[in-house]
């Protein structure tokens, strides 16, 4: 949890809020098909709970936030270009929306998918 303080009091920002912004930014990026579970526990949680939070890990500290994304991207696109675009988009949107500096965005490509086989 991240805490900010202003004249009116304290503001608590939970990792879930950061994950929501990061998820939306990643899925809006060109070439991203979906988020992927990072491990077996996330895979099981995905089927048990339809609103399960998977594919994004957030670590906060006093200096800022580290975000790790697990993605499935479109086959045939340059992986480096897509991952750079996703990292920049997530960093920009989290800093703009939440107001917390993003120290690092790690993008893990868990798979490729052909979305239109024609």
Whether 107 is covered by a domain: the verdict is: yes
Whether 9 is covered by a domain: the verdict is: no
Q: What is the pLDDT of residue 5?
A: 77
Q: How far apart are CA 30 and CA 66, in angstroms?
A: 22
* Token pair of 107 as six digits: 């993008």
Q: How far apart are CA 75 and CA 83, in angstroms?
A: 13
Please state the pTM of the whole predicted model.
Answer: 0.83
Residues of the chain under the 50 pLDDT cut: none
Whether 102 is covered by a domain: the verdict is: yes
The closest alpha carbon to 10, from 19, 1, 21, 22, belongs to 1
CATH of the domain at 69: 3.30.70.1350
| Residue 68 · residue 57 · CB < 8 Å | yes
Whether 26 is covered by a domain: the verdict is: yes
Whether 5 is covered by a domain: the verdict is: no
Whether 2 is covered by a domain: the verdict is: no
Q: What is the pLDDT of residue 55?
A: 87
Q: What is the pLDDT of residue 11?
A: 85
Cβ-based neighbours of 70, under 8 Å, separated by 6 or more: 35, 36, 37, 38, 54, 55, 56, 108, 110
Q: What is the pLDDT of residue 37?
A: 79
Domain total for the chain? Answer: 1
Mean pLDDT of the chain: 86
Q: How many helices (H) does the chain have, and how many strands (E)?
A: 3, 6
Range of the domain at 96: 14-113
Whether 4 is covered by a domain: the verdict is: no
Whether 19 is covered by a domain: the verdict is: yes
């Amino acid at each position: 949890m991240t805490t900010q303080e202003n004249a009116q009091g304290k503001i608590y920002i939970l990792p879930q809020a950061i994950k929501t912004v990061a998820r939306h930014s990643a899925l809006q990026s060109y070439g991203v098909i979906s988020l992927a579970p990072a491990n077996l526990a996330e895979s099981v949680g995905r089927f048990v709970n339809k609103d399960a939070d998977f594919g994004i890990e957030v670590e906060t500290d006093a200096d800022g936030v580290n975000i790790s994304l697990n993605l499935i991207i479109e086959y045939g696109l340059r992986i480096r270009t897509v991952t750079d675009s996703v990292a920049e988009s997530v960093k920009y949107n989290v800093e703009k929306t939440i107001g917390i500096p993003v120290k690092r965005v790690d993008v893990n490509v868990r798979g490729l998918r052909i979305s239109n086989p024609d």
